[in-house]
């Protein structure tokens, strides 16, 4: 009998591309004698509660840290892409710090301050000072988005203010 694990995915990303990735996971694990049960982040709680000792591990293909925390801390299911990894990978500033702490070469990086409902243009001169060693052009990335349209090429100060 194969060892059984969960493949937890985000229900909102249930599209053809995502299904292709899930199928790839299922195939790869099956080739290695492991069986994955795909389950959405919405249905995982009930599935685990109804089958408390069925799953030996989980592959977490989602960013919902609360679900990961439940699986690890309450259901005691080991997770690949655990809650600490998800938390780090959901914030580009934390990714940069983690890579730097392990001496992984990275492009010159400046982590801008995190603000709550405040326009950084109010502090543009201070931000510009933080970034004074970065030559134009440079990239600005949204810290928490992983979508391609949140990466901006900044060729000059006017575009920097716009972004």
pLDDT tens readout for residues 72-130: 999 999 999 888 888 888 888 999 999 999 999 988 888 888 777 778 788 888 988 98
Question: Tokens 């575009």 correspond to what residue?
Answer: 159
Give the three-state DSSP class for 38: strand
Checking if the pLDDT of 69 tops 70, the result is yes
Task: Give the pLDDT confidence score for residue 64 in this predicted structure.
Answer: 86
User: 64-73, 91-100, 147-156 — which is least confidently predicted?
Assistant: 147-156
The fraction of the chain above a pLDDT of 70, given in percent, is 96
Averaged pLDDT score across all residues of the chain? 89
Rounded alpha-carbon distances, angstroms, from residue 15 to 21, 55, 117, 125:
10, 25, 33, 44
Give the pLDDT score at 146. 63
What are all long-range contacts of 40-43, with beta carbons under 8 Å and residues at least 24 apart?
A: 40/8, 40/9, 40/10, 40/11, 40/14, 41/8, 41/9, 41/10, 41/11, 41/67, 42/11, 43/11
């Amino acid at each position: 009998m194969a060892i059984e694990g969960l493949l937890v995915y985000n229900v909102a990303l249930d599209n053809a591309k995502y299904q292709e990735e899930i199928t790839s996971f299922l195939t790869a694990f099956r080739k290695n004698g492991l069986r994955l049960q795909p389950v959405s982040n919405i249905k995982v709680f009930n599935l685990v509660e109804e089958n408390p000792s069925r799953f030996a591990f989980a592959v977490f293909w989602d960013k919902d840290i609360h679900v990961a925390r439940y699986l690890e801390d309450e259901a005691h299911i080991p997770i690949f892409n655990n809650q600490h990894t998800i938390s780090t990978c959901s914030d580009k500033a934390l990714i940069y710090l983690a890579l730097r702490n392990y001496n992984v070469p990275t492009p010159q990086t400046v982590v801008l301050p995190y603000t709550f409902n405040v326009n950084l243009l109010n502090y543009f001169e201070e931000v510009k000072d933080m970034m004074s060693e970065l030559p134009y052009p440079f990239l600005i990335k949204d810290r928490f988005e992983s979508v391609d349209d949140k990466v901006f090429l900044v060729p000059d100060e006017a575009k920097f203010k716009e972004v």
